[in-house]
């Protein structure tokens, strides 16, 4: 008889799955949706009657353990749902303080990411900080703890700001474009971003920072409404305009996760940090 694998190997296997991004069990066996789509396309038109009905005494066919794929085509991921975007905007607009915005986001059911996330991740840092950092999306650690940038990228980000004498406790307030972790840390799709950016915009409006740092391509592109990539955006000053006309200097930077993968980018990020420090000193002096 096969012996059961030791508990440690099962735990290691689960850990391996989680690290690879598998964080949800949907079916016992994997479903090849490409084959399913092909089969559906090739399926002949259904017949309505059989010419030779089986004799009444024929026993029903035995039930087998084989699972038939569902006979509907897999649903497409909508690129953007205008109604859900409208709902998010209305929910965001109904909030008149950061606490109300947090409550509105927690109550919002229009973003499918929320179904798989453990936590809603709102913000961390000093509420009256002059600098507001907007990142991309919570990762595994952030999802578990319910706070942005608490994992390995967050630790690098804290060290980067510490190098220009800014701390999360006093000078920096942090949030993300997405308030829920995309499963397996996949890149946020257009639909996720279009819905959640409504909350991020209201977040900036209610927080009213003196300076914005956009950490990575997703916040830079969505908040500056551009298709230009982060490599060309970083290091340049932009103006982010609030609905009342207030203009906030905004600096796109490489995301710390990118710097962990490509340490060569740290030299450019150091220049960006010095630039941020200079601009902040000017702002605080006025």
Q: 9 to each of 15, 24, 30, 53, 77, how far by Cα in Å?
A: 10, 19, 22, 54, 36
Task: Kindly write out the interface string for residues 243-262 of this chain, putting x where it contacts ligand URA by CB under 6 A and - elsewhere.
Answer: --------------x-----
In the beta sheet, which residues pair with residue 208? Answer: none
Contact between 136 and ligand URA (CB under 6 A)? yes
Residue 149 binds to ligand URA (criterion: CB under 6 A): yes
Does the footprint of ligand URA cover residue 137 (CB under 6 A)? yes
161 binds ligand URA (CB under 6 A): no
- Count CB neighbours of 42 within 10 A: 7
Residue number with CB closer to ligand URA (100 or 140): 140
Interaction between residue 191 and ligand URA (CB under 6 A): no
Minimum distance, C-beta of residue 142 to ligand URA, in the bound complex (Å): 4
Contact region for ligand URA (CB under 6 A) — 27-35, 69-77, 146-154, 224-232? Answer: 146-154
**Selected binder of ligand URA within 125, 143, 148, 230 (CB under 6 A):** 148
Kindly state the DSSP code that residue 244 receives in the 8-state scheme: T
Cβ–Cβ < 8 Å for 191, 78: yes
Phi-psi label, residue 173: left if phi above 0, alpha if psi -120 to 50, beta otherwise = beta
What stretches of 211-261 show up as alpha helix (H) in DSSP? Answer: 217-224, 230-233, 256-261
Residues that bind ligand URA (CB under 6 A): 135-139, 142, 148-149, 151, 153-154, 176, 216, 257
């Amino acid at each position: 008889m096969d012996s059961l694998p030791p508990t440690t190997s099962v735990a290691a296997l689960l850990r391996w799955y989680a690290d690879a991004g598998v964080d949800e069990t949907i079916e016992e066996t994997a479903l090849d949706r490409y084959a399913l789509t092909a089969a559906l396309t090739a399926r002949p038109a259904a017949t309505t009657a059989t010419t030779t009905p089986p004799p009444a005494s024929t026993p029903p066919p035995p039930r087998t353990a084989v699972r038939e794929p569902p006979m509907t085509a897999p649903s497409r991921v909508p690129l953007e749902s205008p109604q859900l975007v409208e709902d998010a905007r209305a929910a965001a607009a109904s909030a008149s303080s950061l606490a109300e915005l947090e409550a509105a986001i927690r109550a919002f059911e229009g973003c499918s990411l929320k179904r798989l996330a453990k936590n809603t991740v709102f913000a961390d840092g000093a509420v009256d900080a002059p600098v507001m950092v907007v990142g991309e999306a919570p990762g595994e650690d952030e999802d578990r703890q319910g706070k942005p940038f608490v994992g390995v990228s967050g630790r690098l980000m804290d060290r980067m700001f510490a190098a220009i004498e800014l701390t999360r406790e006093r000078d920096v307030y942090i949030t993300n474009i997405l308030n829920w972790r995309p499963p397996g840390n996949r890149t946020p799709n257009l639909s996720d971003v279009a819905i959640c950016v409504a909350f991020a915009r209201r977040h900036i409006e209610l927080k009213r920072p003196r300076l914005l740092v956009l950490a990575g391509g997703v916040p830079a592109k969505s908040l500056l409404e551009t298709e230009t990539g982060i490599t060309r955006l970083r290091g340049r000053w932009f103006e982010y305009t609030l609905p009342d006309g207030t203009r906030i200097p905004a600096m796109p930077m490489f995301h710390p996760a990118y710097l962990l993968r490509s340490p060569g980018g740290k030299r450019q990020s150091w220049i960006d940090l010095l630039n941020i420090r200079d601009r902040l000193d000017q702002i605080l002096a006025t």
